[in-house]
Chains A and B, each alone.
Chain A
Amino acid sequence: MPEPRKTPSETPVLEVHDLHVTFRTEGGLVPAVDGIDFAVAPGQTLAIVGESGSGKSVSSAAVMGLLPSNADVKGEVLLDGRELTKLTAEELRKVRGNEVALVFQDALSALNPYYSVGWQVAEAYRLHHDVSKKEANARAVRMLDLVGIPSAAQRARAYPHEFSGGMRQRVVIAMALVNDPKVLIADEPTTALDVTVQAQIIQLLEDVQTEFGTALVLISHDLGVVAEVADDVLVMYAGRAAEQGSVKDIFYRAAHPYSLGLLGAMPRVDVPPKHRLTTIPGSPPSPGSIETGCPFQPRCAYTERVGERCITERPLLTPRPGEGNHEAACHLGRRPEIAQEVARTGIQENAAPEGAPLQQSAAQESAPLEHSAAKAEGPLQPSAEESAL
């Protein structure tokens, strides 16, 4: 069993309230992030999940104030109660890399090819500490050693291209941790890595967190990784929060059709394949293309049961039963007769761990390809009809 999670009531170190990010582009305004809230406490891990383009990276860049100049940011970003969006450039510079640090997906492009890795880690330290080059180098070597780079003193002189993918990601993590930040934001830190290396890096992140009590914001599209390391989860869809709650709320008591769809679509390595994967028809919308109603509506199998409201009224996050602050943005929750239907097909709103995300109705399992039947019976449509553009 994983170590017991800390209680979510602990005071958060990072809080984001009603964050909006809009890009001004030639093609018009792109609302990449459209009102999300999250918080993470020291020693805790918040995972942000969602498919590509859902606004995960933009949210994290917004927290760091790292968005390009064509981005308009609204909302509050509080670090220990301090409003980051109101800081001057110089004040913000002192926060970046010092109190909040970032780890990127692609470590090769995240490192500067022209400088040795030791120099780059030392630079991160010198930017926030008034120390000699020598001291900074010693600190860099210690950090490289800490993240598991063998013969760190020598390897510090090597250049990024001379490292393997996993080792490079360790360097990036060393660079992020060198100032002992309060919050570490990791944007898909293992997506580019093999599973064996991914396991090493996840282990490293967990060790670091235990040792330094860092708050971790982990951005990922891999539900396996999320289940393993997260305490809380935010599921994003088209720039909005579809659902959020504790990791168990999301994996055992998912209340949003999109979360359910993601869980059903994820093949598992630990159990024999019993049935077809459930699928979500179509593909994620581009931001802003759906202006009214629920952004998931065109792909949602439940919308018929809710009716017009899905098209006309934007669903807001409303509390759901669960252990944390479980909330979902779906009109479905307010109509009990449909919740009944939902329960039959896998979501168990009140039950504890026994809710099985992958379970499906017998009807669907027996007739997976007859989509007319599946539509009537099962929540998620099979693949044969996802073709419409």
Chain B
Amino acid sequence: MSTVEQSTKDAIGQDAEELLRLDGVKKYFGLRGVPFRKAGAVKAVDGVDLVVRRGETVGLVGESGSGKSTLARLATRLLDPTEGRVSISGQDVTTVRGRRLRPVRRKIQMVFQDPQASLNPRQSVGTILTTPFRAQGIRPSRAELIELLHQVGLSEEHLERYPHEFSGGQRQRIGIARALAVRPGLLICDEPVSALDVSVQAQVLNLLADLRDELGLSYVLVAHDLAVVRQVADRLAVMYLGTIVEEGPAAEVYAAPAHPYTRALLSAVPVPDPGAARERIVLTGDVPTPIDPPSGCPFRTRCYKVQDVCATVRPVLEPVAGGEHRAACYFPETASPEISRAPMSERTP
């Protein structure tokens, strides 16, 4: 196991402070009804439990439409859950609204995917960075703003400039600086690097890692790129059709995925090594519609291990091989997959 994954895992005990807790959270989006027609609902998030502790980075992965962004917005209270409880630092904030959300926003902030769209083009960087302070009723000093810019690798001279004068990577840095302004303990990053070029993506990922070390931040990192998540996550949660189907320490889940979906997902990620020989599980078909998900196990329509029992009751997250690693499957995989490559040994120094 890697040194990085090992050390961070050791540092975060089971009893470290809970920054975020979701209990049975659901979000259904109503479809607009038509006369003489039954109106359905998009079950975007369909019963999710998740805990994020101080100092921990939780990766949230899944295919498009699996409910990652919706979950992120529920956690930041940008959306109201249809059912379930959202607690932040031990306080139940499910029904907290308006001005009383202010202290909550201090603890948890969001970074968005598209740095271009999430920054107001008519505001200077200084104004953009002042906004979160204002929302808390604080007037920041110039020094504070400059300090923020330094933290994300920008400098004082950038304060008076406008978003269009920056490159994509720099705009994402501004987005991160804005989220850091009120010194939150937890950052929820929704696809923070997916709009960026590879070289720039690496810059931002490294920045997130540095900030974690310097400020003791926690992250929920939403991404569809499993390689990106592996680079930074301590814990991994895999979503499928609005539910978490597997969850556990990242190193364990990546090394020995237990849920057939996770296994297929991981095997589908191409590896930048022409010598890598890997067993690939090619899933057939598409993700079913979240309006009418399959009965029982949501993955059963595409699963290569499906049995009759899978159509009955939805499997719940249960520990695999003891410990914290859990999967929601009646027939979890136990062996490590054949994803090692033959020339692998030749590469180690």
Contacts and interface: CB of A to CB of B under 8 A. Distances in A.
Interface of A: 1-2, 51-52, 164-167, 194-200, 202-203, 221-228, 230, 247-248, 251-252, 261-284, 353-354, 356-359, 369, 382-387, 389
Given A166-B286, A389-B170, 13 more contacts: A200-B283, A221-B198, A224-B271, A226-B272, A227-B271, A251-B273, A267-B225, A273-B2, A357-B273, A359-B349, A383-B206, A387-B170, A387-B173
B343 A195 contact: no
Nearest to A283: B167
A268 B230 contact: yes
Contact of A386 (B169, B268, B340): B169
B306 interface: no
Contact of B198 (A164, A195, A265): A265
A247 B270 CA distance: 15
Given A222-B270, A251-B273, A267 B63 contact: no
B227 interface: yes
A267 B210 contact: no
A196 B63 contact: yes
A126 B283 CA distance: 34
A384 B199 CA distance: 14
Nearest to B3: A274
A267 B170 contact: no
Label chain A's interface by main secondary structure.
loop
A268 B5 contact: no
Interface string B277-288: 110101110100
A46 to B, nearest CB: 14
B198 A223 contact: yes
B78 interface: no
B2 A280 contact: no
A224 B266 CA distance: 13
Contact of B168 (A269, A276, A283, A354): A283
B137 interface: no
Contact of B231 (A51, A195, A273): A273
Interface of B: 1-5, 63-64, 153-155, 158, 165-170, 173, 197-207, 209-210, 224-228, 230-232, 251, 254-255, 264-278, 280, 282-284, 286, 339-344, 346-349
B272 A223 contact: yes
A150 to B, nearest CB: 8
Contact of B153 (A2, A265, A384): A384
28 contacts: A166-B286, A199-B268, A199-B282, A223-B272, A224-B227, A226-B272, A227-B272, A228-B270, A247-B274, A248-B274, A252-B274, A264-B202, A268-B272, A269-B269, A272-B1, A272-B230, A272-B254, A274-B3, A274-B4, A276-B206, A276-B209, A279-B206, A283-B170, A283-B200, A353-B275, A383-B207, A385-B153, A386-B203
Given A196-B63, A272-B254, A387 B268 contact: no
B292 to A, nearest CB: 15
Nearest to A233: B274
Nearest to A200: B282
B203 A279 contact: yes
B206 A382 contact: yes
A114 B85 CA distance: 45
A353 B341 CA distance: 12
A277 B202 contact: yes
- Closest A-B pairs by Cβ, 6 of them: A224-B270, A272-B2, A265-B202, A280-B199, A277-B202, A199-B268
A251 B275 CA distance: 9
A167 B206 CA distance: 36
Contact of B226 (A264, A269, A275, A281): A269
A143 to B, nearest CB: 19
Contact of A284 (B197, B224, B283): B197
Contacts of A383: 153, 202-204, 206-207, 210
Given A265-B199, A277-B202, A387-B153, A272 B277 contact: no
A38 to B, nearest CB: 18
Given A274-B3, A279-B206, A385-B153, A268 B198 contact: no
A274 B2 contact: yes
A217 B263 CA distance: 30
